[in-house]
């Protein structure tokens, strides 16, 4: 399997910002040494999630510290940014990593925040704006100074790019990039275009269904088998992971960490009959139907199973292997969550994963590109 680390800590307030950031850097360096395929950062604003906020700046800091792992974003809400600015920064990160950068982008979340005029865009408007901005980036990446001025326009900006984009990307014609989406239609469209895709949390059946759709779309579009396999290798799906010496120990820690908004997300349907149940009992009960994607109503048990893998090294390895066997070989793991009073909790969990769970499943890595490799 391919394992990627997702630096997605949540904090309770500014007093935990530095601890979360430094622990994330420590874990990124450890993941690189342990054979993880990639380290991913995200982008959030004005809340207590991913307190480094600016994923591209965080990535630039990590670029000189990772020796083997790829470095990625999961994801940048492209609709908030000027497309040429994102393209330039992606090129720089591609140079700094020697082609080991992958730019994950999405159309952003509904109601992204009232600091931007885009916060009230309807989903169709956000999707249109994303497509426009990505098209500008692709045109700019393909542009050469000898081509003359490049005119561009989106619903958000317009202008003319004279000269060339700099720096050039290490890869040609552009860095690796991926579309962050859980929407079947968008996944099928990305497959037809040969684009890479990043998924959020899913149960094995739901994730396998989307992987099959993605593969079929690429095959029907006539893409080369090598590209199809490469893209499927980058089809990450997200899991929050907690490893203990035993299942009982892991769930005891989880019961402490997984409190408040982490467990009771706004869309989760509470079952009054489960009030007072420990999380493990809820997790092991019949979850009912899984929602088609995060954010849609589902039971608390379905939410826990969709988002989390908790247990001993043997249990965690077996659950992750189920995804591999379903045709989903790349898992996007988040190890830091909940209160940060005792960072050693997360260090122990991570060490048990790398030392005992990973070897049980088997580890694959992506090869680094040669200079200018497309």
DSSP-assigned letters across all residues of 58-111: HHHHHHTT-SSSEEEEEEEEGGGS-HHHHHHHHHHHHHHTTS-EEEEEE---TT
Q: Give pLDDT, residue 307.
A: 93
Contact 115/64 with Cβ under 8 angstroms? Answer: no
Structure confidence by residue, pLDDT tens digits, 273-306: 998 999 999 999 999 999 887 778 999 999 999 9
Residue 320 has pLDDT above 80, yes or no: yes
Binning pLDDT at 50, 70 and 90, where does residue 330 land?
very high
Counting Cβ atoms within 10 Å, is residue 230 exposed (0-12), middle (13-18) or buried (19+)?
middle
Cβ neighbourhood burial of 347 (10 Å; 0-12, 13-18, 19+): middle
pLDDT of 270: 86
CA 108 distance to own-chain centroid: 13
pLDDT over 80 (residue 119): no
Within 10 angstroms of residue 203's Cβ, the number of other Cβ atoms is 19
Q: How confident is the model at residue 373 (pLDDT cuts 50, 70, 90)?
A: low
Distance CA 71, CA 41 (A): 8
Whether 141 shows a pLDDT value over 70: the answer reads yes
Tokens of 193: 């275009």
pLDDT band per the 50, 70, 90 thresholds, residue 247: very high
Structural contact between residues 151 and 101, judged by C-beta atoms closer than 8 angstroms: no
Dist CA 241 CA 238 (whole Å) = 10
Phi/psi of residue 46, each to 5°? 60, 30
pLDDT band at 108 (very low <50, low <70, confident <90, very high): confident
Q: For residue 260, what pLDDT band results from cuts at 50, 70 and 90?
A: low
Indicate the pLDDT class of residue 111, thresholds 50, 70 and 90: low
Tracing tokens 């929050």 back to the chain, one arrives at 240
Question: Which residue ranges form the domains of the chain, and what is each CATH number?
Answer: 2-245+312-361 (3.20.20.30)
* DSSP 8-state assignment for residue 353: I
- pLDDT value of residue 324: 93
Q: CA angle at residue 245 from 240 to 249, to 5 degrees?
A: 75
Residue 106 reports pLDDT greater than 60: yes
Q: Which residue has the tokens 């079929």?
A: 216
Q: How far apart are CA 87 and CA 47, in angstroms?
A: 26
- Strand blocks (E) in 126-236: 150-153, 158-161, 176-180, 196-198
pLDDT band at residue 263 using 50, 70 and 90 as cut-offs: low
- The answer for residues whose C-beta is within 8 angstroms of residue 143's C-beta and 6 or more apart is 150, 161, 164, 165
Burial environment of residue 90 by CB neighbours within 10 A (0 to 12, 13 to 18, 19 or more):
buried
Q: Please determine, for residue 7, whether its predicted confidence score (pLDDT) is greater than 80.
A: yes
Residue 121 clears pLDDT 70, i.e. is over it: yes
pLDDT in tens, 188-223: 999 999 999 999 999 999 999 999 999 999 999 999
220 CB-near residues (< 8 Å, 6+ apart)? 192
pLDDT in the model for residue 306: 92
Q: What is the pLDDT of residues 18-76, one digit of tens each?
A: 999 999 999 999 999 999 999 999 999 988 999 999 999 999 999 999 999 999 999 99
Handedness of CA 159, 95, 368, 320 (dihedral sign): negative
pLDDT of residue 262: 56
State the burial class of residue 296 (Cβ atoms within 10 Å of its Cβ: 0-12, 13-18, 19+).
exposed
CA–CA gap between residue 169 and residue 60 (Å, rounded):
15
Above 90 in pLDDT, residue 258?
no
Please report how the helices 83-96 and 55-63 are oriented relative to each other, as an axis angle in degrees rounded to 10: 20
CA 114 vs CA 128, 157, 231: distances in Å: 20, 19, 35
Does 259 score more than 80 pLDDT? no
More confident residue, 276 or 311: 311
Q: Which DSSP state fits 372? A: T
Rounded to an integer, the average pLDDT of 113-139 is: 88
> Residues 154-198: pLDDT tens digits?
999 999 999 999 999 999 999 999 999 999 999 999 999 999 999
């Amino acid at each position: 399997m391919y394992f990627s680390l997702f630096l997605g800590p949540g904090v309770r307030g500014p007093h935990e910002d530095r601890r979360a950031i430094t622990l994330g850097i420590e874990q990124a360096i450890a993941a690189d040494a342990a054979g993880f395929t990639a380290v991913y950062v995200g982008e959030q604003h004005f809340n207590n999630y991913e307190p480094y906020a600016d994923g591209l700046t965080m990535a630039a800091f990590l670029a000189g510290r990772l020796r083997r792992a790829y470095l990625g974003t999961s994801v940048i809400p492209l609709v908030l940014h000027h497309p040429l600015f994102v393209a330039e920064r992606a090129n720089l990160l591609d140079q700094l990593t020697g082609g080991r950068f992958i730019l994950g982008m999405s159309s952003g979340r509904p109601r992204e925040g009232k600091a931007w005029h885009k916060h009230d865009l309807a989903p169709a408007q956000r999707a249109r704006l994303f497509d426009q901005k990505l098209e500008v980036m692709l045109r700019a990446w393909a542009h050469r100074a000898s081509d003359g001025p490049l005119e561009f326009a989106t619903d958000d900006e317009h202008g003319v790019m004279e000269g060339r984009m700099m720096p050039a990307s290490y890869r040609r014609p552009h860095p690796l990039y991926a579309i962050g989406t859980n929407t079947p239609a968008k996944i099928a469209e990305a497959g037809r275009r040969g684009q890479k895709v990043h998924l959020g949390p899913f149960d094995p059946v739901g994730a396998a269904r989307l992987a099959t759709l993605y593969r079929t779309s690429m095959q029907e579009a006539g893409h080369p088998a090598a590209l199809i396999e490469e893209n499927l290798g980058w089809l990450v799906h997200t899991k929050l992971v907690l490893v203990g010496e035993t299942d009982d120990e892991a769930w005891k820690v989880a019961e402490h960490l997984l409190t408040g908004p982490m467990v009771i997300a706004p869309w989760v349907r509470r079952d009054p009959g489960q009030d007072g149940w420990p999380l493990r009992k809820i997790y092991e009960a019949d979850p009912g139907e899984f929602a088609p994607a995060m954010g849609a109503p589902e039971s608390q048990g379905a939410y826990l199973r969709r988002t989390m893998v908790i247990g001993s090294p043997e249990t965690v390895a077996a659950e992750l292997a189920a995804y591999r066997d379903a045709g989903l070989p790349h898992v996007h793991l988040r190890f830091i969550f909940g209160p940060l009073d005792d960072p050693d909790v997360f260090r122990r969990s991570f060490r048990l994963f790398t030392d005992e769970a990973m070897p049980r499943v088997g580890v694959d890595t992506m090869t680094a590109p040669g200079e200018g490799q497309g």
